[in-house]
Amino acid sequence: MKHFQRELDKVKKMILTLGALVEQGVHRIKTAIEERDMTLAKEIIHNDHQVDEMEVEIEEECLKIIALHQPVAADLRFLIAVVKINNDLERIGDQVVNIAQRVLHIAKRPVAPYQFDYSVMAEKAESMLRMSLDSLVNQDLDLAIKVLHLDDEVDKLKNEAYDRIKQAMADGASEDIGYMINLLLISRHIERLADHATNIAEEVIYMIEGEIVRHGKFD
């Protein structure tokens, strides 16, 4: 039993380490967007392999524990939730790389008059990720539920970005179509990042309550 608990503790440390690494990536990409920093964007893309490697290690560790110890009840819920959270963290890492690739494109051009300010949207998404990870660390049900409610705010900001850029196209800025597509994709990737943070919060709720809460249960 002590050996089993040590393995569970190891998995918890691994998922929190991955969470911290991904959270750092989100913070750095927010800076890259705001400062149109191509050097930082390239570093983010280059370092993505760290997240991918950790994601594989964590999944293998969880599957090994399930196979060897056949856990039940809360321990099994914990491992199932970690496997899913692990996947969402890796997907957040992918979104960060996608944003970095868009930054490389837009940074080559002067700031357009219809440029959308992504700072608020990115800050909300980063905050959602931080809160979802804090809810995991502290097993905080109320905080996890709060993350679910914040997702609508990011969706609203994504729609505002879409409307602003669509209006620019209607006003005759169609010669910059490639530039505008990259701006649209940034908003889409930030929204997807927030969606994965929401998924993590949902898995924390499952871990605590033993109940699946997807599809708007707490709306």
Q: Supply the CATH classification number for the domain 2-209.
A: 1.20.58.220
- Tens digits of residue pLDDT in 18-40: 999 999 999 999 999 999 999 99
Contacts (Cβ under 8 Å, ≥6 apart) of 200: 85, 88, 89, 129, 132, 133, 136, 147
List the domain boundaries for the chain: 2-209
- Model pTM score: 0.92
- Tens digits of residue pLDDT in 55-67: 999 999 999 999 9
What type of residue is 117? D
- Tens digits of residue pLDDT in 153-210: 999 999 998 898 888 777 765 567 888 889 899 999 999 999 999 999 999 999 998 8
| 189: its two tokens | 């990737």
Per DSSP, 109 falls in state S
